[in-house]
Structure 1
Amino acid sequence: PLRCASEFLEMTEEFEDGNLISKTEAFLTFTVLAAWRDSIVVLKTCENLSPWAENVQIVRRCCDSISWKAFQDRRPRGEISIDEAWWFDDVVTLRIDHFSRIIAALKAKGTKPEIIGSCIMQYAEKWLPNMEGEAQGQRGHWYAKNELQLSITSGKNQEGSIRQNKEQRMIIESLVSMLPPQKEAVPCKFLLWLLKMAMVYSVTPALMTEVEKRVGSVLALEAEFPMLVQGNLAVSSPPGRGGGFLS
């Protein structure tokens, strides 16, 4: 907040040597961005400081710092170790647009698709509702995907429900967009669950088609190994709520 305030007040070196902008810049560069926890805290604070935090590049620098610290791709392919996933718990607490930027940066650095996929699944577990409970309240989505059936009649509560559904639809669309293209990135079970959630929240047709294609591609690849597919068809819960991906 202090860095944004100094920018708003134009507290530059033109008025006084060592003015607030230069001091806060030094603090950000040498203290905040050097530490993992501080970078996460500042980035979360930026959620309430748009567009100033964007204009002074705080968001970009925090995302870059976090992605560099999280980047680990020196291990052979295989099961993801605890060391490789140490950063998941902090990153999944971020707002979806900031999370998306970090994932994009990690992809660009060459992070293994399995790691990216596992982090995306953990984000979905944290921010999206349980499938069974959601389906009971919005059963009409299975047959009519064009609009949400709201059960709450109170005007205030209805507005809150609409806003929440819009936010969750945005999260689903963002997660679909950032899925790595590699088939091994996420299990078929997660893709099927994500497809159902996309139906519930009426995501854009293009993204719906993308998920459907990915499911079909994975199932076709595993057609010769039915036991692998059979274990992936129970999709009532997201990973961590009975799905077992993150346990």
Structure 2
Amino acid sequence: MVGSRYGPGPSRSGPAGPSGPVHTGSVTSAEQPDGVTVVGSGTASATVDRVTISLAVEVVRAEPGDAWTVASGTATRLLAVLADDGVDARSVRTSDLTLGPRFDFNGNRQQLVGYQAGQRLTVVRDGLHGIERMLTDVARLGGEGVRIEGVSLTPGHPQDALTQARDAAFADATAKAEQLATLAGRRLGRVRWVDERPAGGGPRPMMAMRAVAAESMPAATGDAEVGVTITLFREFAD
């Protein structure tokens, strides 16, 4: 993900390439004022309230038409199960419709064993109520060619947590700049530029397993940690 930079930043010179300027060489004192560059980080917790489920339908039959017909029927039953569990049709996306030969390999020889038809579906649902029942109902179709490929629990609305993490990151960077200036016997001036980037590849789940009925598939709920990293440059005022 591309970060955000606020302020002009240090000026650099160098030859321009086909994809834009290429910065080379060192920054001189005339190009960048005397000061200190620091990195601050901050995190905050966001409520996990969105689930994304990746599903696959795969059917193998001796004839391609039979494979396609059975796979279509299985997908129809899967969509019906999702609808019965309260999933809106607009929250289901179908992709990767496939039909082709299926081979088994024995040494250097391949043997046609049938034709495989299938598709993949992605289900996005806000709110975790009933998710255990939905996963269990889908799993019961597994013998008919349905597979749960993955379940992702994430914050649906992390904006407030990102704002808190950004505040914490800026405060962390400012405290570091003040400490370094004190150690150097200097007085800090204005912020020259600020660069922001997400920390650690997105929200990190802090899961607490919740007990559910024995006949249901358990799902982990809880909070997720979002992070922000800020780099800033402060001029020396003296």
Larger relative strand fraction? 2
| TM-score calculated relative to the size of structure 1 | 0.21
Larger Rg: 2
| TM-score calculated relative to the size of structure 2 | 0.21
Higher relative contact order (CA 8 A, sep 6+): 2
